[in-house]
Chains A and B, each alone.
Chain A
Amino acid sequence: MFTLLQIELYKIFKRPRTYIAFAAITALIIIIQLGLKVDGKEYADFVLADLQNTLEINGKIINGYFVCYVILQLLLVHVPLLIALIAADMISGEANMGTLRVLLTKPISRTEFIIAKFLAAAIYTILLLIWIAVFALLASIIIFGTDDMFLVKNAYAVQIEKVDIFWRYIGAFCFAALAMLTVAALGFFLSNFAENSIGPIVATMSVIIVTTILSTMSIPLFNKIKPYLFTTHMVAWKEFFDVKVNDANETIRGTVQNADKIIRSSIVLIAHIILFVGASVWVFKKKDVLS
């Protein structure tokens, strides 16, 4: 199994297309950081426009933590596309190249083979998120410095002390990894049914777009299915940046307002990953290789 995983990772990282995602993410982060470095004050004024009449906000609003939050909000919507490019290509790409039949004439177990392939896609996904973490968080901290984080939610504002932020990012990135692994598992599952990569990539993106729309629309009919859609739960990383308050309306360090929601969403996402990967193994074991 370890040899299979090594081989799969070797193949992934030998392909030039693998690095497109890393390059695209780096470019996007640099553009956002540059924009906020140049016009950060105007952006802060725009975001806090409604509150500036009622609150006096001191300190450095555009700091490394805030910039990272902005980047994640923008980026985590698009990262699934980059993940789908690799995950949805894992089986179908091999079928398209004709290498699937060559691989399966070798003395390897089909189950081990497909699990190794998913693990390779999962490692790629996690490395992509680590890359985002390094550039979006650490580089932003170096460029913009640190301070308390001030976030505007739908009906209220949250101020998180700077000493209470870093662990939240670790939690948020771990949760984002889970969300992106769900996308990878979906793409991987769909990859079983085609002999070219385009179909599964487009299908993965279509599923994400449709379910995201269903997750965000407040229509009673859709509300019933929302809790079962993985896209409803993918944005729960933001919950790490909502803090409990005491009776004096002061934030309590080290707390999360809706920890239950994070746990519930994590369980739903893990269930989806198990479902997609389990179904992939089942389908692949029965699959006739005709490519």
Chain B
Amino acid sequence: MQNIINVKGLSKQFHNLTAVNQLSFTVNKGDVYGFLGQNGAGKSTTMRMLLTLIKPTEGSIEIAGMDLFKHRKEVLKNIGAVIEKPDVYKYLSGYENLNLFAKLSGIRLSRQQTMQQLATVGLEQRANDKVKTFSQGMKQRLGIAIALVHNPQIIILDEPTNGLDPQGIADIRNMILHLSNELKKTIVVSSHLLSEIEQIATRVLIIDKGKKLIEGNTNELFDASQTIVEIETTNNNFAFEQLKQSSWNNFLLKERITKPVLKMNKKDIPQLHKDLITMNIELIAMQPKHSLEDYFLSITSNNQL
């Protein structure tokens, strides 16, 4: 795999606060690179350093083989970014905003091209409306259209699902998967919604207090034998009783009383499904969840001790 982002010994000091401390990581071409950390862990500071918004106190960032701070303009031509909120000019229309930022990216769009770009994020009907009349989700989509307007190879998204409703979150997730799978973009994404990262990231970096805790492939990092599976049935009490009397009793988490929850190996889920049917348990939903969250909490709390 070819390294596209190479960060070495990155540090940022704000007066007495060390926001990022000797952070090193690499992002490979085509990765969806999940950036995880608690609030104040240094995620946004690192993201901003990747975009030259913040100057590091120490360390180096190489992107596509070029030193970021020496070849800033050249490197940024290949990056699209949405940092926190997608802030644009509220007194301009979506069309005017997209055109303005396209020019800043060195792109001249015809009216037809601008409308096409807006159509890809579902905003063609609102193209001429002022952005101040847009919903949060619409602003987010416009922000993404602005980030992608110059067809960059690397996309940096800092908390892209912040403030969105479930549909908006699903839209962003699908868009990231589309950009990665279909358009072969490299994506660096941070989010406090760990389940979101779990669903999209191929590689993950976890930081705490500005320091790297762990970096690796998503599949390798999370222990599949410790998957939490939550079951919802038409009669949860009956389901509890049946499971207690079966071989699944050893996996049942006794402290969860509202609905059956099991801690088990992910590969055994199909067998559990079959057994539930055999036990005449009417299943409404069965969802493996929180594996990354549990892992994340365990690793960050261990670090705090």
Distance A161 CA – B263 CA, assembled complex (angstroms): 99
Q: Beyond A288-B53, A288-B55, is A107–B77 a contact (Cβ under 8 Å)?
A: yes
Asked if B87 contacts A97 (CB within 8 A), the reply is: yes
Chain A residues 60 to 115 lying within 8 A of chain B, measured CB to CB, are 97-99, 101-109
Asked if A289 contacts B48 (CB within 8 A), the reply is: yes
CB distance from B150 to the nearest CB of A (A): 8
Asked if A14 contacts B76 (CB within 8 A), the reply is: no
Distance A7 CA – B105 CA, assembled complex (angstroms): 12
Chain B residues 235 to 267 lying within 8 A of chain A, measured CB to CB, are none
B120 at the interface (CB under 8 A from A): no
Distance A106 CA – B82 CA, assembled complex (angstroms): 11
CB distance from A286 to the nearest CB of B (A): 7
Which of A6, A103, A288 has the most chain B CB atoms closer than 10 A to its own CB? A288
CB distance from B162 to the nearest CB of A (A): 13
Contact of B53 among A6, A15, A104, A107 (CB under 8 A): A104
Chain B residues 66 to 86 lying within 8 A of chain A, measured CB to CB, are 72-74, 76-77, 79, 81, 83-86
A254-284 CB mask vs B (1 if < 8 Å, else 0) is: 0000000000000000000000000000000
Asked if B51 contacts A99 (CB within 8 A), the reply is: no
Query: Which residue of B is nearest A10, CB measured?
Result: B100
A3 at the interface (CB under 8 A from B): yes
Interface segment, one of B1-9, B22-30, B89-97, B269-277: B89-97
Asked if A105 contacts B89 (CB within 8 A), the reply is: no
Asked if A286 contacts B55 (CB within 8 A), the reply is: yes
Query: Which residue of A is nearest B53, CB measured?
Result: A289
Residues on the A chain within 8 Å of B54, using CB:
288-290
B140-154 CB mask vs A (1 if < 8 Å, else 0) is: 000100100000000
A220 at the interface (CB under 8 A from B): no
Asked if A105 contacts B53 (CB within 8 A), the reply is: yes
CB distance from B143 to the nearest CB of A (A): 8
B90-131 CB mask vs A (1 if < 8 Å, else 0) is: 111000100011011110000000000000000000000000
Contact of B73 among A103, A107, A289 (CB under 8 A): A107
Distance A6 CA – B77 CA, assembled complex (angstroms): 20
B88 at the interface (CB under 8 A from A): yes
A-B Cβ contacts below 8 A, count: 74
A interface, how many residues as a size bin? Answer: 20 to 34
Contact of A7 among B79, B83, B104 (CB under 8 A): B104
Residues on the B chain within 8 Å of A16, using CB:
91
B52 at the interface (CB under 8 A from A): yes
Asked if B105 contacts A107 (CB within 8 A), the reply is: yes
A11 at the interface (CB under 8 A from B): yes
Distance A10 CA – B79 CA, assembled complex (angstroms): 25
Which of B72, B85, B89 has the most chain A CB atoms closer than 10 A to its own CB? B89
Residues on the A chain within 8 Å of B101, using CB:
102, 106
Contact of B88 among A99, A108, A290 (CB under 8 A): A99
Q: Beyond A7-B104, A14-B91, A99-B89, is A104–B73 a contact (Cβ under 8 Å)?
A: no
Residues on the B chain within 8 Å of A97, using CB:
87, 89-90
Asked if B88 contacts A102 (CB within 8 A), the reply is: yes
Q: Beyond A14-B92, A104-B52, A105-B79, is A99–B87 a contact (Cβ under 8 Å)?
A: yes
Query: Which residue of A is nearest B12, CB measured?
Result: A288
Asked if A107 contacts B55 (CB within 8 A), the reply is: no
Distance A12 CA – B79 CA, assembled complex (angstroms): 27
Query: Which residue of B is nearest A97, CB measured?
Result: B87
Residues on the B chain within 8 Å of A107, using CB:
72-74, 76-77, 104-106
CB distance from A285 to the nearest CB of B (A): 9
Asked if B87 contacts A98 (CB within 8 A), the reply is: yes
Residues on the B chain within 8 Å of A108, using CB:
73, 104
CB distance from B20 to the nearest CB of A (A): 12
CB distance from B189 to the nearest CB of A (A): 15
Asked if B83 contacts A15 (CB within 8 A), the reply is: no
Residues on the B chain within 8 Å of A289, using CB:
48, 53-54
Asked if B104 contacts A106 (CB within 8 A), the reply is: yes
Residues on the B chain within 8 Å of A101, using CB:
48, 51, 53, 83, 87
Asked if A105 contacts B76 (CB within 8 A), the reply is: yes
Contact of A11 among B73, B79, B89 (CB under 8 A): B89
CB distance from A210 to the nearest CB of B (A): 30
CB distance from A72 to the nearest CB of B (A): 32
Distance A4 CA – B90 CA, assembled complex (angstroms): 19
Q: Beyond A7-B104, A10-B100, is A109–B73 a contact (Cβ under 8 Å)?
A: yes
- Give 13 new A-B contacts, CB below 8 A, not counting A11-B92, A14-B92, A101-B51: A4-B104, A7-B100, A97-B90, A99-B87, A99-B89, A102-B86, A104-B52, A104-B53, A105-B53, A105-B79, A106-B101, A286-B55, A289-B53
**21 sampled A-B residue pairs with Cβ under 8 A:** A3-B104, A4-B104, A7-B104, A10-B100, A11-B89, A11-B92, A14-B89, A15-B91, A16-B91, A97-B89, A98-B84, A101-B83, A102-B83, A102-B86, A105-B51, A106-B105, A107-B76, A107-B77, A286-B55, A288-B55, A289-B53
Chain A residues within 8 Å of B, Cβ to Cβ? 3-4, 6-7, 10-11, 14-16, 97-99, 101-109, 286, 288-290
